[in-house]
Structure 1
């Protein structure tokens, strides 16, 4: 038997701060629906229902589901960019900077599996290139901050193979590979996340970078 749920009465005026909280609720609900039903299957109505608001109320925060998806990506990459910028300014060895950036990247993925899967493991082909440009530019800035200390390592002659560009790509891809597999295939008998992160970092860092 299906029981119809009554919606709570809507107040004439939302309390201060409620709009920001509601926006976060929409993004969190949208993440789950995008992952469960794909881009095509996710609709404004489904997202609104999950949050407990009308479609009209949701449109007060986001004009369409493209904007919701792009906002999720923008917030995720901004967090990672902020981490990379802060670490790049630390007065520490370039190798340690790279390791800390990669460690932070994997921790972000494991702590935010829905966001990571949606932003880094999915395809946004349904969204126009023009709409994606701002998020793409953020991603480029984030990767460039990560690549900076790798260029320092290469300039010091410490790369065992490849160039700064190829080393940066391989280091990122290795970390992305392990976290994306763990997140998307949770039924596998994976070792603890902390151990996987350390083994990955030890392997790729020692494989590519020579000791002084």
Structure 2
């Protein structure tokens, strides 16, 4: 009999009858809801006998678990597609939460409930979702964003909280997407605070270092004045030359764009912003030749590098 996600995956590869049964069950759940799923209906829609179904699934619940396992696979892909090592943990969690919420919105309520039950039925140390999230937490701890601890337990708390809130949001017929996103963002921040996210001064500088900022070299230039350095960082990213650079590039004005990019490059170097300095240097050399070829790609790299640091300020 087929009981779990791997069995369901194997069924799709090897068992054509099992595939018909699962396809029929998915269609019934999508069109009529889980409460209207019956073995009799699955048999009729799939063209398979009741005995063929019972040979593979003990009962309706076992069949539903197999369906839930298949529904779960896209969520793992969403986690992988939306996790970026260069971003902060909260940025990653917000991005993943929004992507998964959008996927949940495409499902009926019973399918969402089945997904929650399926995930809860898996042992923690065999649950691919928790293991993936625990890995993200471990990475965050390595950069000083959170305390060290039982990452699997932390993942369990975060995942349970997300699904509870997401299910509640889906049930609210008047909930607008942007409001739902804000609620998920607030929920993430509250949960992370509960997991003792550290925001002390030492961790701030360590996180900057982990993002490629040469903090020590910059502080040496400023004689160790951390307050001044932090102030200069904020001012740099608020510099109107960034907007002027974008406007000049949009107008294909390579001369003005070169001047703005060159000035920003110098400031980035002084502030130890190596990850920003490198694409700015690339952009400066392109513009020095009076060319726009590759300029917008280099500018995008500058913007991406800036976002990594500004998220921490």
Partner in structure 2 of residue 119 of structure 1: 115
Task: Report the equivalent of 1:143.
Answer: 130
Change (3 A) 1:205 1:167: farther
1:181 and 2:161 correspond: no
Structure 1 residues 125-165: Cα deviation after superposition (integer angstroms, max 9, x where no partner): xxxxxxx7xx6589612221122222222233323898645
- Which of 68, 76, 80 is the matching residue for 1:73? 68
Report whether the alignment pairs 1:159 with 2:146. yes
8 A Cα contact 2:141 2:147, kept in partner: no
Per the TM alignment, residue 203 of structure 1 is displaced from its structure 2 partner at its CA by: 4.1
- Closer/same/farther in 2, CA of residues 97 and 69 from structure 1, 3 Å limit: same
TM-score relative to the length of structure 1: 0.61
Q: Unmatched 5+ residue regions in structure 2?
A: 1-15, 200-311
Deviation at 1:120, TM superposition (A): 0.9
Which whole-Å CA distance do the structure 2 matches of 1:123 and 1:162 have between them?
Answer: 22
Q: Which structure has the larger Rg over C-alpha atoms? A: 2
Q: CA RMSD in A?
A: 4.1
Unaligned runs of 5+ in 1: 1-16, 125-131
Matching residue of 2:94: 99
Offset, 1:43: 3.2
Q: 1:177 to 1:144 in 2, by over 3 A?
A: same
- Given that 1:62 and 1:68 are in contact with CA atoms closer than 8 Å, whether structure 2 keeps it comes out as no
Could you tell me how far 1:189 is from its partner in structure 2? 6.0
**Alignment partner of 1:47 out of 42, 47, 51:** 42
Of the candidates 148, 158, 164, which is equivalent to residue 171 of structure 1? 158
The 2-side partners of 1:202 and 1:150 are apart by 18
Does the 8 Å CA contact 2:134/2:155 hold for their aligned counterparts?
yes
Q: Secondary structure at the match of 2:28?
A: helix
Higher helix share: 2
Structure 2 CA distance for partners of 1:136 and 1:168, relative to 1, 3 Å: closer
- The superposition leaves residues 17-76 of structure 1 with CA deviations (integer Å, 9 ceiling, x where unpaired) of 9x9677423322146667325xxxx53113334x3x555189379733355223212112
Conservation of the 8 A alpha-carbon contact between 2:24 and 2:42:
no
Partner secondary structure for residue 175 of structure 2: coil
Decide whether the 8 Å contact of 2:98 with 2:184 is kept in 1. no
Match of 2:56 among 56, 63, 68: 63
Compared with structure 1, are the counterparts of its residues 164 and 26 closer, same or farther at alpha carbon in structure 2 (3 Å cutoff)? closer
Residues 150, 164 of structure 1: 8 Å contact kept: yes
Change (3 A) 1:111 1:150: same
